Amino acid sequence: MDYRDLKIGKHGLPTWDALIPNVLHYLEDGNAKNSKMIFKDIADSLKLPKDLREATYPNNPRANMIEDRVKWAISELNTGGALERPSRGVYRISSVGKELLNLDDKELTRNKVHSLPAYVNHKNELKERNRIKGVAEKEDAEENSDDSFSEEMDVIDKLTKQTDKYNNEIAANLLKRIQDAEPAFFENLVVKLLVKMGYKGPNGSSKVTQKTNDGGIDGIINQDPLGTSTVYIQAKRYKDDNVVQRPAIDGFFGALSRVHADRGVFITTSHFSSSAISTAKNFSIVLIDGIQLTNLMLQYQVGVQVKKHLNLFEIDEDFFED
């Protein structure tokens, strides 16, 4: 395929959405393939001139532009459920992706990908995260305004909002990764998170219970060496549409009663129904849903790492004092 037959964007290169058909056709054999190989093979297949094939970003000369656009197409298709990620850096086409291949290439647009149920759910989750953090969905009017009270505060405000938006996207992707993992992985994760949050105490202990004998309890954290103060955990790795209902809370309360516990934490990757929430309040059970879970993971840096630190400076007035 000649790149000039595709929609061209900045820098004279095909846009990421123009590469959606290329990605799907490349993976249509159903085999799982390494992402770096996908980036390179698709970019090479476009028959780009040498200068365009090797073009990089001025502020990041190590990032190849066209391969970055292939990467973006893969990311969007994965978010929409058209691609699966069986392991780190490996992708294969899903049943949703195979259905897309029944369409004409001209119909494989960004709008089509963004209308896929999994993508719509992803965007709705982001809206909810942004709502919780008070991040506006559209900031164009504010960003183009010349009426800012303080240019300095405007810059800080914009950086804060963009950082929140970026981290919300990371949190949403993190939740998807957890939902695709094994249940045992999730049980270990929630115990590690609560330990990182300080629930174990300096001399306490923590463990994931054996599945065959957990009695409805997936994790236990002793907050002191003698186990006089214990937190019991139940972890449910559910998809977004599998809402935790009241019977699950009743069951967990029964498990707590059997060990004479006065505190429990119920963690899920999905959501809780209103009846489950009211029941948990009556039983003094703490509930953590998928959004809260991944926000806590970012806050306590569990399963994530800091990508970049930004330093904003101000004048040290004390330095200039006599």
Low-confidence ranges of the chain (pLDDT < 50): 139-151
> What is the reported pLDDT for 139?
46
Which domains are present in the chain?
Answer: 1-115 (1.10.10), 182-288 (3.40.1350.10)
> What is the reported pLDDT for 143?
38
Angle subtended by helix axes 65-79 and 35-45, to nearest 10 = 120
> What is the reported pLDDT for 202?
83
Contact assessment for residue 56 and residue 64, using Cβ atoms and an 8 Å cutoff:
yes
- pTM over 0.75, yes/no: no
Residue 272, φ and ψ in degrees, nearest 5: -110, 140
> What is the reported pLDDT for 154?
59
Report the side by side order of strands in the sheet with 33-34: 33-34, 90-93, 83-87
Token pair of 269 as six digits: 């990757």
Residue 120, φ and ψ in degrees, nearest 5: -60, -45
The rounded radius of gyration (Å) of the Cα atoms in the chain is 24
Report pLDDT digits (tens) over 4-55: 888 999 889 999 999 999 999 999 999 999 999 999 999 999 999 999 999 9
Question: Whole-angstrom Cα distance, residue 210 to residue 212?
Answer: 6
Report pLDDT digits (tens) over 262-274: 889 999 999 999 9
> What is the reported pLDDT for 148?
35
User: How do strand 264-268 and strand 285-288 relate by DSSP bridges?
Assistant: parallel
> What is the reported pLDDT for 162?
86
